[in-house]
Amino acid sequence: MTSSPSHALLQSDDEWDVRNRVLSETLTGLIRTESGNDARQALDIGCQNGWTTDRYAQLTGLEWVGIDPALEEQKKSPNGIDLYPGFSNKLDFPDDSFDVAMLANVYEHIFPEDRVASFQEMRRVLRPGGVVVGQIPNPYFPIESHSRLPFMGWLPMRAQKAYWKLSPVSWEHDFFVVTPKHLRRDAAAGGLHLSMVRKFNYPPEVIPERVRGVYRALRRPMQRFPWAWQFVLRPE
């Protein structure tokens, strides 16, 4: 039995591990260069099972906690970091609790009506001089990153949900089309300004081997039209 063409776009475990390693290393590099030398506490918003939270802790030496709406109760990450149920628009932490907040591939999953409140909450729990570091995928990239389908992000929402039925992934459609323009607008309304944004592309080793040649052929245009953007937000 042969797999469908869309299944060729699914990453292997090794390719997924490389993806997570590169993501962790590049975002924690931003933390090292953009946060203060006295930074101590950090919050991972959208931590999932805490695997990347553990990597952030190993790479930064900061004290991390994580929240994720998919968690039903408090749990520990594989390395023992506290993870809590929670939503970005209602952070259950006191004012001025953190020096860093991580928002890696999460902004596009926040409902539009909750985005400003989410940034207001991040602003509230950040200490003076704190930063929000994160990443958003380019929804107009030829292969949309959530669905692994060509040109998914170019379609209106109703068409996206119909097209999603062809996706080889196991999860449901749960993202919105956002770009740095939306991020700048929503963050500013929440009291944060976009102080840095950069284009970001994963290395070829992240791409499924069967389509890696296509990725290499696109590397020059990807310098202008990237896979994702990484960013830093600071309090106004």
pLDDT score, position 212: 67
Q: Give percent of the chain with pLDDT exceeding 70.
A: 93
Mean pLDDT over 83-94 rounds to: 98
Number of other CB atoms surrounding residue 164 within 10 Å: 19
Walk me through the domains of the chain, giving residue ranges and CATH numbers.
Answer: 5-235 (3.40.50.150)
pLDDT score, position 1: 36
pLDDT score, position 23: 95
* Residues 30, 93 contacting (CB under 8 angstroms): no
Q: What are 30-52's pLDDT values in tens digits?
A: 999 999 889 999 999 999 999 99
Choose between 15 and 181: higher pLDDT.
181
- Confidence tier at 9 by pLDDT (50, 70, 90): low
DSSP for 66-99, written as a single string: EEETT-SS-EE-TT--EEEE-BTTB--S-TT-EE
pLDDT > 80? residue 222? no
- Confidence tier at 8 by pLDDT (50, 70, 90): low
Mean pLDDT over 211-223 rounds to: 71
Which range (142-146, 162-166, 181-185) has the least confidence? 142-146
Q: Is the whole model's pTM more than 0.95, yes or no?
A: no
* Residues 149, 166 contacting (CB under 8 angstroms): yes
Share the mean pLDDT of the chain: 91
CA distance 30 to 23: 11
Mean pLDDT over 80-95 rounds to: 98
CA distance 134 to 163: 28
Q: What are 49-74's pLDDT values in tens digits?
A: 999 999 999 999 999 999 999 999 99
pLDDT score, position 2: 41
